[in-house]
């Protein structure tokens, strides 16, 4: 084990998805000296999870070494998460004959082989419309895919907030603002052990164990040797009238791998979130993460909280307009408000980096969300806690190990075209 129940444990990024979940699992397992650090209090404004909603559901099986298999049960039975889980069903759609269709058909076969009866194959637009009456007017010719009646979406920000309340109730300590903003690791005199974190106001938090769970900021704070590439994805909202929102209550979440996705509008604000699907954007900058002997050029998140007037690139906005006119033509032309970018960090193979850092004993990495970790909020921290307790299976230790330069030998990663850099795409920067 890397720690015992009375060890002092600092979690960098404890206001976000992987960090707050780790704190929750440690506190529930009886760890009495856990402190989360973050720029912002939970739900951290820098977390991609600080969002109206995220896709989640019971169809996520076999992801992240199978850690996904229990996630929806946890969403729907754990009192901290239950109020935020919504189960109107979920459509995962693609184009007939595409690589995506082959992949979805394999997923369908697997779910059926597990004996699942909440799954259906939708071979064409008529099949889709049967499950999704709200797509009656949609132009979905040539689409096919998978329907799962269990799951759909989670109220992301509210769920993260709920974890924050629970952490406080369980006695997890906190430091936010400048005293919670990472500056560097504190090392032992021989340089072999991480013994704490120094924050930007000079505060030094000594600890027996440090967990780096800073999401897209992770590779900027500590040199991860190219294992994580931070990218942003975008969203915008349409303000629906109460009548329009009522008409969309209970719709299944609709995801299409070319056009993007949307789900039920917010229950009281009547906001409809819309996202396009694309390879993400980087924001290449010269920085010197801790552990790097010299400045390096890597993608650095641009905090929406710190740049609240940023909009989204014009081409993304156009994609979102295309999604609306294809799927929800009655809403075409409506103002697209609250435009923002969410930052995730991708590994090449789409698996997490959840391991002890081989350079410094006492530093655990918990990052590499790869854009698919919010649906894992109730369970991801249990994996980090298992690592800390020496209980992680050999298979998962192997999957989530320190692995610079390994790439994606099994083709499990995002693949596809490389991301564009924000510097190449107009329309998003709104510095005053
Ligand atoms: O089912 C899911 O986990 C949805 S992932 C949502 C998404 O916006 C991706 O579509 C995108 O490509 C990126 O990975 C961020 O997350």
Region 101-125 average pLDDT: 98
- CATH number, domain at 368? 3.50.50.60
- For residue 315, how far is its CA from the centre of ligand 1 (angstroms)? 18
**Is residue 352 situated within a structural domain?**
yes
Q: What number of other Cβ atoms are within 10 A of residue 395's Cβ?
A: 10
Average pLDDT, rounded, for the chain:
97
Region 248-269 average pLDDT: 98
**Is residue 404 situated within a structural domain?**
yes
Per the CB < 8 A criterion, the answer to whether 308 and 429 are in contact is no
**Is residue 387 situated within a structural domain?**
yes
Residues spanned by the domain of 17: 9-89+150-424
Q: Is the pLDDT of residue 432 over 80?
A: no
**Is residue 106 situated within a structural domain?**
no
Q: Say what the pLDDT of residue 431 is.
A: 61
Model pTM score: 0.98
- For residue 27, how far is its CA from the centre of ligand 1 (angstroms)? 29
Tell me how far apart the alpha carbons of residues 388 and 11 are, in angstroms, rounded to a whole number. Answer: 13
- For residue 99, how far is its CA from the centre of ligand 1 (angstroms)? 18
Region 116-122 average pLDDT: 98
Ligand 1 in reach of 58 Cβ (< 6 A): no
Percent of all residues in the chain with a pLDDT value above 70, rounded to a whole number: 99
**Is residue 108 situated within a structural domain?**
no
**Is residue 211 situated within a structural domain?**
yes
Outline where DSSP puts E strands in 58-200.
85-86, 90-95, 119-122, 143-148, 151-154, 173-176, 182-187, 194-199
218-232 pLDDT per residue, tens: 999 999 999 999 999
Ligand 1 in reach of 375 Cβ (< 6 A): yes
- For residue 393, how far is its CA from the centre of ligand 1 (angstroms)? 27
Ligand 1 in reach of 279 Cβ (< 6 A): no
**Is residue 98 situated within a structural domain?**
no
Ligand 1 in reach of 413 Cβ (< 6 A): no
ipTM over 0.85: yes
Q: Say what the pLDDT of residue 379 is.
A: 98
| SS3 track for 289-337 | CECCCCCEEEECCCCCCCCCCCCCCHHHHHHHHHHHHHHCHHHCCCCCE
138-169 pLDDT per residue, tens: 999 999 999 999 999 999 999 999 999 999 99
Helix (H, G, I), strand (E, B) or coil at 99: helix
Q: Provide the domain count of the chain.
A: 1
**Is residue 325 situated within a structural domain?**
yes
Q: Say what the pLDDT of residue 309 is.
A: 93
Q: Say what the pLDDT of residue 160 is.
A: 98
14-45 pLDDT per residue, tens: 999 999 999 999 999 999 999 999 999 999 99
Closest residue by Cα to residue 340 from 307, 315, 299, 366: 307
Ligand 1 in reach of 258 Cβ (< 6 A): no
């Amino acid at each position: 084990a890397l720690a015992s129940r009375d060890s002092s444990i600092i979690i960098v990024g404890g206001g976000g998805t992987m960090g707050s979940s780790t704190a929750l699992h440690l506190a529930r397992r009886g760890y009495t000296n856990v402190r989360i650090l973050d720029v912002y209090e939970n739900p951290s404004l820098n977390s991609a999870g600080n969002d109206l909603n995220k896709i989640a559901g019971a169809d996520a099986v076999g992801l992240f070494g199978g850690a996904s298999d229990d996630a929806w049960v946890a969403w729907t039975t754990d009192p901290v998460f239950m109020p935020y889980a919504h189960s109107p069903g979920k459509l995962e759609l693609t184009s007939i004959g595409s690589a995506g269709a082959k992949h979805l058909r394999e997923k369908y076969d697997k779910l059926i082989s597990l004996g699942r009866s909440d799954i259906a194959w939708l071979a064409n637009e008529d099949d889709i419309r049967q499950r999704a009456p709200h797509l009656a007017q949609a132009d979905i010719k040539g689409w096919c895919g998978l329907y799962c009646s269990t799951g759909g979406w989670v109220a992301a920000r509210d769920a993260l907030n709920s974890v924050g309340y629970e952490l406080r109730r369980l006695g997890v300590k906190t430091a936010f603002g400048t005293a919670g903003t990472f500056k560097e690791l504190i090392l032992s005199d021989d340089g072999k052990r991480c013994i704490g974190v120094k924050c930007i106001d000079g505060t030094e938090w000594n600890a027996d164990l440090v967990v780096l769970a800073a999401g897209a900021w992770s590779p900027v704070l500590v040199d991860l040797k190219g294992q994580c590439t931070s990218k942003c994805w975008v969203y915008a909202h349409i303000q629906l009238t109460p009548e329009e929102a009522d008409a969309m209550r209970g719709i299944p979440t609709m995801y299409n791998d070319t056009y993007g996705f949307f789900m039920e509008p917010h229950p009281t604000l009547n906001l409809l979130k819309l996202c396009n699907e694309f390879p993400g954007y980087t924001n290449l900058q010269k920085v010197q993460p801790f552990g790097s002997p010299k400045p390096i050029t890597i993608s650095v998140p641009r905090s929406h909280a710190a740049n609240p007037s940023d909009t989204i690139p014009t081409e993304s906005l156009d994609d979102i307009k295309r999604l609306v006119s294809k799927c929800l033509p009655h809403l075409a032309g409506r103002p697209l408000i609250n435009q923002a970018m969410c930052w995730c960090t991708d590994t090449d193979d789409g698996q997490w980096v959840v391991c002890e850092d081989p350079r410094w004993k006492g530093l655990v990495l918990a990052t590499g969300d790869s854009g698919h970790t919010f649906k894992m909020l109730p369970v991801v921290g249990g994996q980090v806690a298992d690592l800390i307790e020496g209980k992680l299976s050999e298979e998962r230790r192997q999957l989530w190990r320190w692995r610079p330069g390994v790439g994606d030998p099994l083709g499990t990663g995002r693949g596809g075209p490389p991301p564009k850099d924000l510097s190449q795409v107009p329309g998003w920067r709104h510095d005053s």
